Amino acid sequence: MPLELFTVGEPIADTKAPTDVPIGERWSERKFRGRLVNPANRRKLTVIVVGTGLAGGSAAATLGEAGYKVKSFWYQDSPRRAHSVAAQGGINAAKNYRNDGDSVHRLFYDTVKGGDFRSRENNVHRLAEVSVNIIDQCVAQGVPFAREYGGLLDNRSFGGTQVSRTFYARGQTGQQLLYGAYQALERQIAAGTVEQNARTEMLDLIVVDGRARGIVARDLVSGEISTHFADAVVIASGGYGNVFYLSTNAKGSNTTAIWRAHKRGAYFANPCYTQIHPTCIPVKGDYQSKLTLMSESLRNDGRVWVPKERGDDRDPRDIPESDRDYYLERLYPSFGNLVPRDIASRQAKNVCDEGRGVGPGGLGVYLDFAEAIERLGRPAVEAKYGNLFDMYAQITGEDPYAVPMRIYPAVHYTMGGLWVDYDLQSTIPGMFVIGEANFSDHGANRLGASALMQGLADGYFVLPSTISSYLADGPFEKVDDSHPAAVEALTGVQEQVQRLLNINGNRTPASFHREVGQLMWDLCGMERTDEGLRKAIDRIQEIRQEFWTNLKVTGDWTSFNQTLEHAGRVADFIELAELMCIDALHRRESCGGHFRAESQTPEGEALRDDENFAYVAAWEWTPEGQPPVLHREDLEYEYVHLAQRSYK
């Protein structure tokens, strides 16, 4: 690796987990050792929370309830629209309600293994412990989880596990959990503990004397750019999968909050870890603006196959069993269609690369319910998956009850994000990062139904406990908009929006976004090579140059201007894309959703290199023209032993 792409800095250690006690006691011990804030003092402390998805919404509600003064920010009109609302399949919890051998330890084990040994044991164990409280909390809020006839909660299974530990609300689990958190948040808004800032986007972080003390935000309706101050800042702005342009993320999902915090000194960890979801509706045309995933739970009953022969373009219903290849069941007899997402995605790509893909362009595989409909009857299939089938029919114009669905992998979730310690604090004191915006719990691949678990674990239970240790030193010295750091941040944001408007070139923000996204999918997507990544880095630098000289944004910044919003986000995506490629290039191993063609087993599975890469790559921003600095945090596996993953 040539030195000019990055330099290596001091290693970082996360020392906040009390490793002197067994793993099962560490979270309790951390809570005990942490300091508390007396209820009378909490109302003197202010916390900014950016984002109102499962993590941000639940955190703001909980902190407000606890008595802190909370300022909540979101870019949609209502917190109920945060993209957590779109999660379909479910939320994991180690309740062992099915008596099928589940336990906190097994959820912990499955998650560490599923993440291909690139997540922190301490964090994952805590996640598994807290999972049981999440279900209790949500049920008490009135989340209508699926139930058995006896009135107790139902469960189903998800990829990468052999137990049924996933709680669900038909195919709308994220929606129902989010509404629970949203309603809790609205209750606090009514109670006056949470101040609401709708349609407001964070555009910079204000750092005073090394501590995060506020944000610069733009009111998207009036255009006004203003400063907001607090004793601590919590970022819960979600993932950055939209760097690929086409993804399963909401169109507004972006990287701006975390990227600008990164530019203020927060390390960005494992940016190249992207989860590719195996069951999305395939791309249709070049006008397409987004991809829609079909819940992984469909793989409980649907069987994935392609024709055995390449070029077999018969109607799938006319292809006899003997001419079909149920490749997941053939390759992974223990887990079958329920292998983890990275493996299912990669095998789908492999069969399509072999020329056996189906549908337009050969980029698709069948997800077939014919056998399930025969075995269970159509009403039972409808009851379980009806809304997903309807959604598929609506988008494709095909009837999935009659013809097998066609699916293909798509960008879904980012496991990378801002680096945080065990307290979920970033490298900037006073700035905490929760949910998908941080990197900490999923390793190189996220198991299904774990994202909702992490969002709510962080927001309801982890952050509210750990942030008090920091706030116990507060309130900090008062800062207002006359402080030089605030003036500098505010002016910088104003200058940037004006600069975007002044270019007056010939290309729209969307055209740059599409171009950089396609490049990332081709060269930093499911499969990466040294050569491809170097090519991508060169090209991204050219795109960035062109962006700042040939962009066209109409209107002004003092009013509602959606093109300007998009332009600012694309500027950040372009910079992030380069860091993602550098991270992918330096990690010369395959792990999870990150497959380096140069590193594979004889069977074509991802081959990790634990000797050289069992670490978190935390990147430090450097001024333009300087290569980023890599800080390594070594990962230690005390309880789950490093092993080649096998789902055979």
x/- contact string, 127-156, with other proteins (CB under 8 A)? Answer: ------x-xxx-xxxx-xxxxxxxxxx---
End-to-end CA, the chain: 35
Q: Does 13 contact other proteins by CB under 8 A?
A: no
Q: Is 98 left (phi over 0), alpha (psi -120 to 50) or beta?
A: alpha
Q: Does 508 contact other proteins by CB under 8 A?
A: yes
In the complex, least distance from residue 558 CB atom to other proteins, rounded to whole angstroms: 11
In the complex, least distance from residue 607 CB atom to other proteins, rounded to whole angstroms: 35
Q: What is the DSSP string of 30-92?
A: HHHHS----HHHHTT-EEEEE--SHHHHHHHHHHHHHT-EEEEE-SSSSGGGSGGGG--S-EE
Contact with other proteins (CB under 8 A): which of 48, 94, 184, 236?
184
Q: Does 323 contact other proteins by CB under 8 A?
A: no
Candidate segments 225-233, 466-474, 558-566, 592-600, binder of other proteins by CB under 8 A: 558-566
Q: Does 506 contact other proteins by CB under 8 A?
A: yes
Q: Does 186 contact other proteins by CB under 8 A?
A: yes
Residue in the block written with tokens 């400063």: 227
Contact with other proteins (CB under 8 A): which of 5, 86, 370, 472?
86
Tell me whether residue 285 or residue 625 sits nearer to other proteins (CB atom): 285
For residue 532 the two structure tokens come to 């491809």
Q: Does 545 contact other proteins by CB under 8 A?
A: no
Tell me whether residue 370 or residue 510 sits nearer to other proteins (CB atom): 510
Q: Does 195 contact other proteins by CB under 8 A?
A: no
Report the 10 Å Cβ neighbour count for 121. 22
Contact with other proteins (CB under 8 A): which of 9, 44, 97, 195?
97
CB 525 within 8 A of CB 536: no
Q: Does 432 contact other proteins by CB under 8 A?
A: no
Q: Does 559 contact other proteins by CB under 8 A?
A: yes
3 state SS of 579:
helix
* Residue environment code for 463-500, b if the CB has 16+ CB neighbours within 10 A, otherwise e: bbbbbbbbbeebebeebeeebebbeebbeebeebbeeb
- Which residues, 42 to 81, sit near other proteins by CB under 8 A? 58, 61-62, 65, 76-81
3 state SS of 473:
coil
Candidate segments 1-9, 188-196, 333-341, 638-646, binder of other proteins by CB under 8 A: 188-196
Please, how many CA atoms are within 13 Å of residue 334, restricted to the half-sphere of its CB? 9
In the complex, least distance from residue 214 CB atom to other proteins, rounded to whole angstroms: 24
Instruction: Give dist(CA 437, CA 55) in Å, integer.
Output: 9
In the complex, least distance from residue 553 CB atom to other proteins, rounded to whole angstroms: 8
Q: How far is CA 229 from the centre of its chain?
A: 27
Tell me whether residue 553 or residue 570 sits nearer to other proteins (CB atom): 553
Q: Does 563 contact other proteins by CB under 8 A?
A: yes
Q: Does 322 contact other proteins by CB under 8 A?
A: no
Contact with other proteins (CB under 8 A): which of 374, 477, 560, 648?
560
Tell me whether residue 126 or residue 264 sits nearer to other proteins (CB atom): 126
CB 431 within 8 A of CB 389: no
Candidate segments 318-326, 535-543, 548-556, 615-623, binder of other proteins by CB under 8 A: 548-556
Instruction: Give dist(CA 360, CA 398) in Å, integer.
Output: 14
Tell me whether residue 112 or residue 130 sits nearer to other proteins (CB atom): 130
- Which residues, 460 to 479, sit near other proteins by CB under 8 A? 460-461, 464
CA angle 255, 257, 260 (to 5 degrees): 95
Contact with other proteins (CB under 8 A): which of 16, 71, 83, 126?
83
C-alpha radius of gyration, the chain, whole number: 24
In the complex, least distance from residue 130 CB atom to other proteins, rounded to whole angstroms: 10
In the complex, least distance from residue 80 CB atom to other proteins, rounded to whole angstroms: 6
CB 527 within 8 A of CB 410: no
Q: Does 332 contact other proteins by CB under 8 A?
A: no
- Which residues, 227 to 286, sit near other proteins by CB under 8 A? 248, 250-252, 284-285
* Strand pairing class (7-8; 166-167): unpaired
In the complex, least distance from residue 232 CB atom to other proteins, rounded to whole angstroms: 18
In the complex, least distance from residue 117 CB atom to other proteins, rounded to whole angstroms: 32
Query: Catalytic positions, please?
Result: 341
* Strand pairing class (46-50; 69-73): parallel
If binding means CB under 8 A, how many residues of this protein chain bind other proteins? Answer: 79
* Residue environment code for 427-450, b if the CB has 16+ CB neighbours within 10 A, otherwise e: bbebbbbbbbbbbbbbbbbbbbbb
Instruction: Give dist(CA 431, CA 1) in Å, integer.
Output: 32
Distances (CA, A) of 61 to 43, 58, 197, 423: 14, 5, 14, 19
In the complex, least distance from residue 511 CB atom to other proteins, rounded to whole angstroms: 8
Tell me whether residue 85 or residue 479 sits nearer to other proteins (CB atom): 85
